[in-house]
A and B are shown apart, each in its own frame.
Chain A
Amino acid sequence: MTVGADIKQCLATIKSIEAGLSSLAINTNAEDEQRLFHEQMMVIEEIKQDLMKRIGEVEREEEQYKGF
Chain B
Amino acid sequence: MPGWLEVVVRGVLFLFVLFLTTKILGKKQLSELSFFEYVSGITIGSIAAEVMMGLENNIWHGIIGVAIFAVLPFFVEILSLHSKTVRDVVEGKGTVLIKDGKILEDNLKKEKYTTDELLQLLRGRDVFKVDEVEYAVLEADGKLSVLLKKDNRPLTRKDLDLPSINEKEPHTIVMDGEIFDEKLASAGKNRAWLKGELDKQNVTIENVFLGQVDSSGQLTIDLYDDKIEVPTPQDKPLLLANMKKCQADLELFALATDSEKAKRLYAANAKKLQESMDVLSPHLKG
Given A10-B250, A50-B265, CB of A29 within 8 Å of CB of B187? yes
- What are the residues of chain A within 8 A of B253 when measuring CB–CB? 3, 6-7, 10
Q: Are B245 and A47 in contact (CB under 8 A)?
A: no
C-alpha spacing A10/B165, complex, angstroms: 30
Contact between chains at A27 and B217 (CB < 8 Å): yes
Shortest A62–chain B CB gap in Å is: 12
Contact of A30 among B166, B238, B265 (CB under 8 A): B166
Q: For chain A, which range describes its interface: under 10, 10 to 19, 20 to 34, or 35 or more residues? A: 20 to 34
Asked if A28 and B279 make an inter-chain contact with CB atoms under 8 angstroms apart, the answer reads: no
Q: Do B262 and A24 touch (CB < 8 A)?
A: no
1/0 contact trace for A50-67 toward B, CB 8 Å? 110110010000000000
B159 at the interface (CB under 8 A from A): no
> In this complex, what residue of B is CB-closest to A39?
B279
For residue B273, CB closer than 8 A to chain A, the reply is: yes
Q: Measured between alpha carbons, how far is A29 from B219 in the docked complex, in Å?
A: 13
State the Cβ distance, A56 to closest chain B Cβ, in Å. Answer: 12
- Within A11-43, the residues touching B (CB, 8 Å) are 13-14, 16-17, 20-21, 23-24, 26-30, 32-33, 36-37, 40, 43
A contact patch SS: helix
Q: Are B246 and A10 in contact (CB under 8 A)?
A: yes
Contact B168 A29 (CB under 8 A): yes
Instruction: State A27–B213 Cα separation when bound (angstroms).
Output: 10
Contact A28 B217 (CB under 8 A): yes
CB contacts (< 8 Å) of B265 on chain A: these are: 50, 53-54
Q: Does B236 contact A (CB under 8 A)?
A: yes
- Taking the closest CB of chain A, its distance from the CB of B89, in whole angstroms, is 45
What's the least CB distance linking B262 to chain A, in Å?
6
14 new A-B pairs (CB below 8 Å) besides A24-B217, A24-B236, A40-B279?
A3-B256, A6-B253, A17-B242, A20-B238, A27-B216, A27-B218, A29-B217, A33-B165, A33-B166, A43-B273, A46-B272, A50-B265, A51-B269, A54-B262
Footprint of A on B, CB under 8 Å?
165-168, 187-188, 215-218, 235-236, 238-239, 242-243, 245-246, 249-250, 253, 256-257, 262, 265-266, 268-269, 272-273, 275-276, 279-280, 283
Closest 5 CB pairs of A and B: A27-B217, A20-B239, A28-B216, A10-B249, A29-B215
The contact sample of 14 A-B pairs, CB cut-off 8 A, is A10-B246, A10-B250, A13-B249, A16-B242, A24-B217, A29-B187, A30-B166, A30-B167, A30-B168, A33-B283, A40-B276, A40-B279, A47-B272, A47-B273
